[in-house]
Structure 1
């Protein structure tokens, strides 16, 4: 018996084998789930290629979280592969270079708005789009990076993550009566494609292991994926609006 036996899981954000989302999809399959992936635009073929590297090739459906037509069509596109969903994984984030890397004071609103829409508002958009397929016991899990602090170079992405974390709590409030849980996993720094796109991200990950009581491996996404799988499972039936830290314990230490 796997932790996710028989569950149907939608996973966003699979771009490379190094992405946290890829490890979530892999682990979900290993734990018995059927997985459907999303992608869009030029990334679509890349996601299809990466999907073939999973234990079982997963279907990929079109979804641009900024496109109203894509959002409206999501449920029907997923129904081509499964008649319902038990879980949704939000692993989406983007910010223009103009709002990252010590550019907080110079960033302009159109670029900030892009970061907020894709990295925060999209949690609401994705949840509502998937809602027709989710029922009692459903679980939505998102990935964040601790938004309590003003990190070096993270700038407006840090603001977007703060909005993302707040959005998850309001979703937990509004979807709870439908029996749907909404939780986040706050991971320590991992060398993903997204992290590498942030100028100077090394200044965040540098020394993280030294500050973590358990230590921290910036190349290992497995602990984070396991936390996501656990929150997707039935083992947290009364937990919602929570942020689970998977960072070696660094969040609890003084800096």
Structure 2
């Protein structure tokens, strides 16, 4: 698309595992708005991501990345650099918690399982960004996907703690990347029926909250509003915004009803 919001941008998008994922729609909208997109995936999901990449307007290359692997992180810039000559944006859409860290067993969760949730879902944002630094242009933007961590959500447990850590990490990224004019922000999405969200033990209860309580109508099957917000943060239209959590949740975070 000529003259789009992201015309000429080069963007790495993680976490595309299905056509229903928020990350898929971020990649799709980025391409429609003029960006060149590279995807990452790992393990058994790699082939799935490669297949889903073919559903984008332009099939995007997929590079392997396990954010818990030091070797993968060390080689990421070279692998991405084989497809683009730099990066103007990075999208972090990576989260995982063992079943024992979800579903209401918060008090019984072991440290190793909590640590896994924190490492994959929060610390990996820092690791991903630093791995991409050799490619990141000045005035680039890094964007992560969040779920409002100001409240304790039923069954969300150590993933909720991880999202709180993710929000803090984003503020520190904003602090330390600011001298390069690299912006770091999050989009806190409402409940969207992605593959990951449907696997949550209390998914039906959370969906019920979003079907009835936001002041604006909220469609749990529509990831596009969240993806559009990510595209906006990747663009040049918010050049002085960093360390921010942009809520895209129908306004639920702002009201008590």
Q: Quick check: TM above 0.5?
A: yes
The answer as to whether partners of 1:101 and 1:198 remain within 8 angstroms in 2 is: yes
CA distance in 1, matches of 2:120, 2:212: 32
Give, in angstroms, the shift of residue 254 of structure 1. 1.1
Residue 192 (structure 1) aligns with: 194
Alignment of 1:67-216 (within 5 A): 67-216=69-218
The answer as to whether partners of 1:86 and 1:138 remain within 8 angstroms in 2 is: yes
Give, in angstroms, the shift of residue 24 of structure 1. 0.3
CA distance in 1, matches of 2:183, 2:93: 17
Residue 33 (structure 2) aligns with: 31
CA distance in 1, matches of 2:242, 2:87: 18
The answer as to whether partners of 1:135 and 1:179 remain within 8 angstroms in 2 is: no
Residue 11 (structure 2) aligns with: 9
Gapped regions of structure 2 (runs ≥ 5): none
Structure 1 segments of 4 or more deviating over 4 A? none
What secondary structure does 1:132 align onto?
coil
**Per-residue CA distance 1:211-236 (angstroms, 9 max, x = gap):** 11111000000000000000000000
The answer as to whether partners of 1:209 and 1:248 remain within 8 angstroms in 2 is: no
**Per-residue CA distance 1:183-214 (angstroms, 9 max, x = gap):** 00000000001101111221112131321111
The answer as to whether partners of 1:12 and 1:92 remain within 8 angstroms in 2 is: yes
Q: 1:248 aligns with which of 225, 247, 250?
A: 250
Give, in angstroms, the shift of residue 133 of structure 1. 0.5
Residue 63 (structure 2) aligns with: 61
Gapped regions of structure 1 (runs ≥ 5): none
Tell whether 2:234 aligns with 1:232.
yes
CA distance in 1, matches of 2:53, 2:7: 20
The answer as to whether partners of 1:140 and 1:232 remain within 8 angstroms in 2 is: yes
Residue 21 (structure 2) aligns with: 19
Equivalenced residue count is: 255
How big is the alpha-carbon RMSD for the aligned residues of Structure 1 and Structure 2? 0.7
